[in-house]
Amino acid sequence: MNLSIGALSRETGVKVPTIRYYEDVGLLPEADRTVSNRRTYGPGDVSRLRFIRHARDLGFEVDAIRQLLQMSDHPSKPCQEVDSIARRHLANIDSKIDRLTALRTEIRRMLDSDAHGTISECRVLDVLAEHGKCLHEHH
C-alpha cells in the first residue's frame, strides 16, 4: 500500500526531484521515512500530487494551489477567508474558461475553413487580445 518516491512518480507523472521540491515548499507534507531514511507515501499523496500537477498545468501558481489545498484540508471550516479565496479563484477560473473557449472556437474555425479550401485569415491573436479590455483585473 505504501509507495516509494519512484513509484509515486510513476503513478502521478511528476518527476522525483519535483516531488521533493513540493515537500520543500510545503505543498506536500513531510513524507514518512523508512528506517533507512527513504520517503514513503500513501494513496492520499497520490491524489494530492495529481491535483498539484493539474493545477500547475492550468496555470495556477504554487501559492494559489496552497490555498486550494488548504480548502481541501479544512473542509469543515468554510470561514469567511476561505470563502472569499474560493470566490476569487472561481472568478479567475471562469475567466480562464472563457478565454480558452474563445481560443478553441477560433482554432477550430481555422482548421475547418482550411478543410474547405478557403484561405482563412487567422484571428487567434485577436480573439484573446480582445479580452485585454478586461484590463488588470487579475494582477
Question: Residues binding DNA: what is the number (CB under 7 A)?
Answer: 25
Question: In the chain, what is the greatest distance between 2 CA atoms, to the nearest angstrom?
Answer: 67
Rule CB under 8 A: say whether 120 interacts with its own copies.
Answer: yes
- Residues 45 to 104: which contact DNA by CB under 7 A? 56, 61-63
- Which of its own copies, DNA, none does residue 15 bind (CB under 5 to 8 Å by kind)? DNA
- Residues 47 to 106: which contact its own copies by CB under 8 A? 47-48, 50-51, 53-59, 68-69, 71-72, 75-76, 78, 83, 86-87, 89-90, 93-94, 96-97, 99-101, 103-104
Q: Which is nearer to DNA, 4 or 70 (CB)?
A: 4
Three-class DSSP labels, the chain: CCECHHHHHHHHCCCHHHHHHHHHCCCCCCCEECCCCCEEECHHHHHHHHHHHHHHHCCCCHHHHHHHHHHHHCCCCCCHHHHHHHHHHHHHHHHHHHHHHHHHHHHHHHHHHHHCCCCCCCCHHHHHHHHHHCCCCCC
Rule CB under 7 A: say whether 38 interacts with DNA.
Answer: yes
* Least CB distance to DNA at residue 30 (A): 9
User: Residues interacting with DNA, by CB under 7 A?
Assistant: 4-7, 9, 15-18, 20-22, 25, 31, 33-39, 56, 61-63
